[in-house]
């Protein structure tokens, strides 16, 4: 899709969100994100704040980096009350994707690896997207499991309410980008590792994604391919080797890790392609079905933008075909 068409599609959405359970009146949420229109905002936790956490003193902050209104590029920090933004197609095909955008565990990108997916995956693919605003290390709960807790809770919430949203509870996947790819891989490898205390009936649902898509993901935390910024934000300035290995996702793959689709550019200078290669090797060793696409050009952070004229632009179509081929035999 050209940037012009993408911009028009995004403008048609107007980027207006409404709070789950609230009126559709135009207004702003507590973090300043617009809250009206066709997309829908859904709180993760019953009281807005995760168990064991407390609201931050500083309000959530949303920053717009783009000067082109047709191509917004926002990010959010200081997330106290994590939430989802749901984008539903006119005719849902029953498949859902939890989206964990990147941002180096320093911020959460909202558009480039979030709302910009709508034209390809929602409007053309019929998939329901749930873009996660997750808590960041060092903000709120003072440990490195807060983002995983949010991802687990989000997957469970989507599955528990699948009937309400015309979804098949056996076709709920996750797609993660960059550091969000690391978070998605943590969810896929550790869906049954308790990251928070159960709070309600939603937490009885499985947090295992039925499939996962990792796009230029941060995977390794120990070797030469590690992304220094993500590692420091998540593990600290001088993490012990054992801690680095524990959070190197290629070493945590298990037989029940979900089937995986990987996308990377060979010229990615920020998160080297060795991350995806290492994870693919781990999947093969564990006997997990996997598909890997390495494109020669695209750099880092391309999402669905900035790849017109490159073979990399084929990845959304390849991803949709791969998702359609995933079976529904796996029981949550």
Look at residue 18 in the predicted model and tell me its pLDDT: 42
pLDDT exceeds cutoff 70 at 25: no
Q: Which residue has the higher pLDDT, 105 or 138?
A: 105
Which whole-number Å values give the CA distances from 22 to 26, 80, 129, 202, 249, in the listed order? 11, 19, 20, 20, 39
pLDDT exceeds cutoff 90 at 281: yes
Residues 290-313: tens digit of each pLDDT: 999 999 999 999 999 989 999 999
pLDDT (mean) for 28-54? 76
Look at residue 173 in the predicted model and tell me its pLDDT: 98
**Residue 130: beta bridge partners?**
86, 98
Residues 226-235: tens digit of each pLDDT: 999 999 999 9
Q: What is the dihedral of CA 294, 297, 303, 307, to 10 degrees?
A: -130
A 10 A CB-CB count for 141 gives 22
Look at residue 10 in the predicted model and tell me its pLDDT: 39
Q: How far apart are CA 65 and CA 71, in angstroms?
A: 10
pLDDT (mean) for 255-274? 98
Predicted TM-score of the model (pTM) = 0.90
Report whether 235 contacts 245 (CB < 8 A): no
Look at residue 87 in the predicted model and tell me its pLDDT: 97
A 10 A CB-CB count for 55 gives 14
CA atoms within 13 A on the CB side of 261: 22
Look at residue 141 in the predicted model and tell me its pLDDT: 62
Q: How far apart are CA 95 and CA 125, in angstroms?
A: 9
Q: How far apart are CA 146 and CA 156, in angstroms?
A: 15
Report whether 162 contacts 168 (CB < 8 A): yes
Q: How far apart are CA 140 and CA 149, in angstroms?
A: 12
pLDDT (mean) for 202-212? 98
Report whether 278 contacts 226 (CB < 8 A): no
Residue 142: pLDDT band (50, 70, 90) is low
Report whether 226 contacts 179 (CB < 8 A): no
pLDDT exceeds cutoff 80 at 12: no
Residue 252 class from Cβ within 10 Å (0-12 exposed, 13-18 middle, 19+ buried)? Answer: buried
Residues 100-121: tens digit of each pLDDT: 999 999 999 999 999 999 999 9
Residue with tokens 């998605």: 184
Q: How far apart are CA 134 and CA 182, in angstroms?
A: 13
Residue 23 class from Cβ within 10 Å (0-12 exposed, 13-18 middle, 19+ buried)? Answer: exposed
């Amino acid at each position: 899709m050209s940037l012009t068409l993408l911009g028009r599609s995004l403008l048609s959405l107007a980027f207006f969100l409404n709070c789950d359970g609230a009126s559709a009146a135009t207004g702003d949420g507590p973090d300043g994100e617009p809250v009206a229109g066709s997309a829908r905002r859904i709180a993760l936790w019953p009281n807005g704040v995760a168990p064991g956490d407390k609201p931050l003193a500083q309000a959530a902050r949303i920053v717009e980096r783009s000067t082109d209104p047709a191509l917004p590029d926002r990010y959010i920090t200081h997330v106290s009350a994590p939430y989802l933004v749901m984008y539903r197609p006119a005719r849902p095909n029953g498949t859902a994707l939890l989206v964990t955008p990147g941002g180096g565990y320093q911020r959460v990108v909202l558009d480039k690896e979030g709302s910009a997916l709508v034209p390809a995956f929602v409007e053309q693919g019929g998939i329901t997207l749930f873009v996660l605003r997750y808590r960041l290390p060092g903000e709120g709960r003072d440990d490195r499991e807060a983002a995983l807790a949010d991802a687990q809770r989000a997957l469970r919430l989507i599955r528990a309410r699948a009937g309400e949203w015309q979804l098949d509870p056996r076709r709920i996947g996750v797609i993660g980008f960059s550091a969000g790819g690391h978070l998605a891989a943590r969810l896929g490898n550790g869906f049954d590792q308790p990251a928070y205390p159960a709070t309600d009936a939603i937490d009885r649902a499985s947090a295992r994604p039925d499939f996962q898509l990792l796009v230029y993901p941060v995977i390794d935390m120990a070797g030469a391919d590690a992304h220094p910024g993500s590692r420091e934000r998540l593990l600290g300035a001088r993490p012990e080797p054992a801690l680095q290995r524990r959070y190197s996702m290629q070493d945590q793959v298990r037989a029940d890790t979900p089937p995986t689709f990987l996308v990377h550019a060979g010229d990615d200078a920020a998160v080297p392609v060795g991350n995806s290669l290492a994870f693919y090797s781990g999947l093969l060793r564990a006997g997990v079905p996997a598909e890997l696409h390495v494109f020669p050009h695209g750099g880092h952070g391309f999402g669905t933008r900035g790849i017109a004229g490159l073979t990399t632009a084929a990845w959304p179509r390849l991803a949709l075909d791969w998702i359609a081929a995933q079976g529904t035999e796996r029981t949550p």
